[in-house]
Chains A and B, each alone.
Chain A
Amino acid sequence: MVEVSKETINDKQALIMVTIFIMGSTLIMGVGGVAKQDMWLAIIAAIASAIPVVLMYARILSTYPGKDLYDILQIVFGKVVGKIVCILYAWFAFHLGALVLRNYGEFIKTAALPETPMLVSMLFLGGLALWAVKAGIEVIGRWSEFFIFILIGFILIIGFLSIPLMKPQNLLPVLYEGVVPVLHGTLAALSFPFAETVVFTLVFSSLQTRESPNKVLVYGILLGGLIVVYAALRNVMVLGANYISMLYFPSYHAVSRINVGNFLQRLEISVVVVFTIAGFVKISVCLLAACTGIAKVFSLENHRQIATPIALLMVTLAYIVYKNIMEMMEWAFKYWSSYALPFQVFLPAIILLAVEIKSRRQKTSGKPPAKQ
């Protein structure tokens, strides 16, 4: 198969993409809610357990430099089985993109534009993501590189302004209900933002060197995780764990409490901006992964040509997937981790095993056949 054009992104852009991807919908939805006031502990544990998982992804990617997971699957498992697993991963990326799109639609409907039909906001963000996919991963990378400053700026300013509202006693008592809720929160936080980076193995065929997947994924997880931990700590200290459990979008409420001298008010629009920027990157990456997957499964040369109907289907799926916001939250916290972990941990483990066996065997058979 001939590549139409070989796109490359440098490590800095890739790292920023991973960071923004992790911030994506996590900053809005909140994560590890079952752990109540210990959610920051759950998130830190999730980061620690995500590092071996992403090292696994990086190992798979760096064994075959210049190839993405779809190519690797077809090399390792052969055409038929490889393509079946490719379809599963393309579906996972597609479904994840649709869910993020739905989160965005619900958030805009609940928080910002209650009278506008949800389809409108999802259609426009989906259209933007389609444009980004048609422009290619290089453009998404450069775009993220530029917009990370706006994101970090907003987050820092909001962080400083909410210091007077913080009550550190909201974090106490630590581990009041034992370790079990924290472990539940860890599992949820692992599957919700951190191990979702498996989508990047589907698009990162364009990294520069063999070592870059390692560096990019690990530092991306750490940087994104830092911001997620900060957001969780801020929300708990400003609102308190009991109040958070009643809210759909805790960050929005935490930030809306900021009031500096009756002059700086209604800063929650910054949360909308952050979510729009970060969600856009997340949806674009998912859409890119889904398009690449479909193109690789049917051995097409160019994934851009089929991007439009896939984007339309993604918006449709986002529209029909849940009836209302309650169902969305129930699904996200009840079923998502059992649905996503096979794609995020178990299948990559099997793939890594197969990759190792395959590459060892090639190494031994690559030597000149001496005896036998």
Chain B
Amino acid sequence: MILLTIAAFMIIAILELVPLYKERGKEKRTYLVYLTLFLFSFGLAVLLSLGIRIPSPAKAIEVFIDAIVK
């Protein structure tokens, strides 16, 4: 599973990240935003495929709403 995840993300990187890297002189900001989001989603996917439970943002929103409404 983890190998599959890494392979899938590598294919995406080859298709999209490498062309952006080559043009980073022109559009540096796009490259940086892409890289950040990409690494974030890659990290989450690796953690998920290792079977680690990621805390859901729904719980945080629940606590927040209860603090305001109740």
Contacts and interface: CB of A to CB of B under 8 A. Distances in A.
A335 B56 CA distance: 15
Contacts of B65: 335, 338-339
Contacts of B61: 335, 339
A331 B34 contact: no
Contact of A309 (B41, B48, B57, B58): B41
Interface in A189-217: none
Interface in A318-337: 319-323, 327, 331, 335
Contact of A320 (B30, B37, B54): B54
B42 to A, nearest CB: 8
Contact of B29 (A95, A299, A316, A319): A299
Contacts, number: 66
Contacts of A310: 37
Interface in B27-52: 27, 29-30, 33-34, 37-38, 40-41, 44-45, 48
A339 B69 CA distance: 10
B37 A309 contact: yes
A7 interface: no
Contact of A305 (B34, B41, B54, B58): B34
A316 B41 contact: yes
B62 A321 contact: no
A148 interface: no
A331 B45 CA distance: 24
A313 interface: yes
Given A322-B56, A335-B62, A338-B65, A305 B29 contact: no
Interface residues of A, number: 26
The residue in B38, B44, B58 that gathers the most chain A C-beta atoms within 10 A of its C-beta is B58
Given A335-B61, A339-B61, A308 B33 contact: no
Contact of B41 (A294, A298, A300, A313): A313
A14 B38 CA distance: 32
A321 B41 contact: no
B48 A316 contact: yes
Nearest to A95: B57
B33 A298 contact: yes
Contact of A316 (B34, B38, B44, B62): B44
A301 B40 contact: no
B43 to A, nearest CB: 10
Given A298-B29, A335-B62, A313 B48 contact: no
Nearest to A313: B41
Contacts of B45: 312, 316
A128 interface: no
B37 A313 contact: yes
Given A320-B54, A331-B58, A339-B65, 6 more contacts: A300-B29, A301-B27, A305-B20, A306-B30, A309-B34, A313-B44
8 contacts: A301-B27, A305-B16, A313-B40, A313-B41, A316-B44, A316-B48, A321-B56, A335-B61
Interface of A: 95, 294, 298-302, 305-306, 308-310, 312-313, 316-317, 319-323, 327, 331, 335, 338-339
